[in-house]
C-alpha cells in the first residue's frame, strides 16, 4: 500500500492543501528536471533515464556536494516494498560506477556542458560505497533505517515494537511468522 502524506497551510488555523492527481511519473520527472530544487537545492542532476545494464533504467541520477551519488527512482501507485527493492537494485549498480562512467552519464544528460574529472575526484568517488556509507551511519541514514524498521514492524502487526527491541526477539518473531506462513501454504 502506498504511503500517503498531506500538506497543510501554516497558520493559526491550519487547513489541508487539496491533493492533486499526478497523471504520470513522466510529468513528475519533467518537473524535477525543469526545477531540481523540488528535491534538493544541493543536488546537481547528472543523468536521466540512465540505462543500468541490468535491464532497467534509473529515472534520475544526481550528485551531492560531498561527491556522493543520489539515485532518484520515481514510483506512482507502488508499495514501499517494491520501491525499496528497485532502489536497492539500482544502488548496487550505482556503487559500481567510476568517474569515467559518471562523466559519460553526464555527457548524455548535458551534452553542452562538462564535468571535471581528476585523480583526486576519482579517489574520493571510490571511497563512496554503500558499505562505507552504512558503516559511517550518517544521521539521515540512521533515521531512514529506523523509519523503515518501524514501518515493517507495523506491517507485521507488532504494536509493541521499539528500536530498542533485542535482535533475538525480532528474529524469534520473524521465524514464527515464516513458520506460520509456510504452514498455511502447505
DSSP 19: P
pLDDT at 175: 92
Class of the 22-135 domain?
alpha beta
Quote the mean pLDDT of the chain.
82
Predicted pLDDT of residue 131: 82
Structure-model confidence comparison of residues 129 and 26, the more confident one: 26
Secondary structure (3-state) at 91: helix
pLDDT, tens digit (0-9, with 9 covering 90-100), for 15-34: 888 877 778 788 888 888 89
In the predicted structure, residue 115 carries a pLDDT above the cut 60:
no
The per-residue pLDDT for 74 is 83
Q: What is the pLDDT of residues 38-56, one digit of tens each?
A: 888 888 888 999 888 777 7
Residue 140 and residue 152: Cα distance in Å, rounded?
18
Domain map (residue ranges) of the chain = 22-135, 137-186
CA angle in degrees (0–180, nearest 5) for 141-139-82: 20
E strands, 1-56, are 44-51
Share of the chain above pLDDT 70, in %: 89
Which positions ≥6 away from 144 have C-beta within 8 Å? none
How far is 29 from 36, CA to CA, in rounded Å?
10
**pLDDT-derived band of residue 80, with 50, 70 and 90 as boundaries?**
low
pLDDT at 169: 92
pLDDT at 122 over 90: no
The alpha-helical segments, DSSP class H, found in the chain are 25-34, 80-95, 99-109, 119-127, 130-136, 139-155, 167-185
Distance CA 7, CA 99 (A): 39
| Residue with more model confidence, 135 or 113 | 135
DSSP at 40: -
The pLDDT score that the predictor gives to residue 160 is 93
**Are 53 and 61 a contacting pair, CB within 8 Å?**
no
pTM (predicted TM-score): 0.55
Amino acid at each position: 500500500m502506498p504511503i500517503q502524506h498531506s500538506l497543510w497551510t501554516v497558520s493559526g488555523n491550519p487547513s489541508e492543501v487539496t491533493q492533486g492527481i499526478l497523471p504520470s511519473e513522466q510529468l513528475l520527472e519533467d518537473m524535477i528536471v525543469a526545477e531540481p530544487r523540488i528535491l534538493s537545492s544541493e543536488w546537481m542532476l547528472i543523468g536521466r533515464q540512465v540505462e543500468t545494464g541490468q535491464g532497467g533504467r534509473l529515472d534520475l541520477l544526481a550528485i551531492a556536494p560531498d561527491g556522493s551519488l543520489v539515485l532518484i527512482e520515481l514510483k506512482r501507485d507502488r508499495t514501499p516494498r517494491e520501491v525499496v527493492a528497485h532502489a536497492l537494485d539500482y544502488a548496487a549498480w550505482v556503487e559500481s560506477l567510476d568517474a569515467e562512467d559518471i562523466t559519460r552519464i553526464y555527457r548524455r544528460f548535458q551534452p553542452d556542458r562538462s564535468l571535471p574529472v581528476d585523480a583526486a575526484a576519482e579517489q574520493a568517488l571510490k571511497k563512496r560505497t554503500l558499505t562505507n556509507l552504512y558503516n559511517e551511519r550518517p544521521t539521515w541514514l540512521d533515521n531512514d533505517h529506523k523509519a523503515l524498521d518501524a514501518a515493517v514492524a507495523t506491517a507485521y502487526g507488532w504494536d509493541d515494537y521499539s528500536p530498542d527491541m533485542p535482535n533475538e526477539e525480532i528474529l524469534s518473531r520473524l521465524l514464527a511468522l515464516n513458520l506460520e506462513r509456510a504452514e498455511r501454504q502447505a
